[in-house]
């Protein structure tokens, strides 16, 4: 009974360790698939929208952006301003206003209203008080994402971007391309580099740094440039090409095989030890019997001589 308990405990410990090892990979895959579905559903909804609806949505977003230029308290909005903000570019109530692609680091993520923690756990958040991502002179959009989450990659590789790299914002059926021109590390409360500049069309990507410490903020700023060839192509993700069932089976079967092997090995080892002990006992018994027989023969020979 004790041997079986020991075997089961060993297998459970092994499976727990293996699960912890696989968790980041599996969870990141799952998040990637979630992002792919969100983007696909968003694109489908946009295709079904009337052109007049799209035009009105952009006009309202541009009107919102105009009010920010002369608002010194734009990063601390009132309840009324907050309600108006969340109603813009939100076609289905999920808060998703579009998605971002960063070719250099193979990043494709949904963009949602606000930088609430619930948003940043699954995608990129738009900082309220910054310009909505519809472009235009005198705008500065700020998008924030986490780094180093065990459940999702998100902006983990943002520090790899260099001046001259590009990123693209896909808002409704339009694409806005930005070229990185500034990279800065600032204190968390330093908003100076997020100001709206007259005549400029800017977008800043914001994340925590250094990696795993998160005491400062990394700002990667880009200015708008003309779209390049292929920028309007629809986004697909490798994650969408692999079925979740296949992933589960691919992970589950090896785990089961390893578990059975571990149980089989753990059960055979005691048996081998037991056989080895039995052999040793038999040898000792045989040696003892032979010694006694030899002594008896020696006594019998001595008696005959006398």
Which residues are identified as catalytic? 146, 208
213 φ, ψ to 5°? -110, -45
Query: How far is it, in rounded angstroms, from Cα 255 to Cα 233?
Result: 40
The answer to whether 55 touches 46, Cβ cutoff 8 Å, is: no
What token pair was written down for 206?
A: 């914001």
* Residue among 139, 113, 135, 140 nearest 124 (CA): 113
Q: What is the Cα–Cα distance from 40 to 277, expressed in whole angstroms?
A: 66
Residue of 283, 290, 266 whose CA lies nearest to 7: 266
């Amino acid at each position: 009974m004790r041997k079986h308990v020991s075997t089961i405990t060993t297998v459970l410990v092994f499976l727990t360790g293996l699960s912890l090892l696989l968790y980041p990979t599996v969870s990141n895959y799952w998040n990637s698939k979630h992002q792919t579905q969100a983007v696909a559903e968003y694109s489908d909804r946009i295709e079904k929208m009337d052109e007049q609806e799209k035009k009105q949505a952009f006009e309202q977003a541009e009107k919102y952006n105009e009010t920010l230029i002369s608002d010194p308290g734009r990063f601390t909005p009132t309840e009324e301003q907050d309600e108006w903000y969340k109603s813009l570019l939100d076609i289905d109530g999920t808060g998703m206003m579009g998605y971002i692609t960063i070719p250099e680091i193979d990043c494709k993520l949904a963009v949602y209203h606000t930088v609430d923690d619930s948003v940043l756990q699954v995608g990129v958040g738009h900082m309220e008080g910054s310009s909505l991502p519809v472009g235009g002179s005198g705008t500065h959009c700020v998008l924030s994402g986490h780094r180093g989450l065990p459940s999702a990659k998100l902006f983990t590789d943002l520090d790899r971007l260099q001046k001259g790299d590009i990123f693209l914002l896909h808002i409704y059926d339009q694409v806005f391309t930005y070229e990185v021109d500034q990279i800065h590390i600032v204190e968390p409360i330093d908003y100076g580099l997020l100001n709206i500049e007259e005549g400029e069309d800017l977008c800043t990507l914001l994340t925590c740094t250094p990696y795993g410490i998160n005491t400062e903020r990394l700002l990667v700023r880009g200015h708008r440039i003309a779209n390049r060839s292929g920028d309007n192509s629809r986004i697909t993700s490798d994650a969408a090409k692999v079925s979740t069932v296949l992933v589960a089976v691919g992970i589950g079967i090896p785990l089961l095989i390893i578990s059975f092997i571990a149980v089989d090995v753990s059960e055979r080892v005691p048996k081998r030890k037991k056989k080895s002990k039995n052999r040793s006992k038999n040898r000792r018994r045989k040696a003892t019997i032979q010694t006694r027989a030899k002594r008896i023969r020696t006594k019998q020979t001595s008696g005959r001589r006398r």
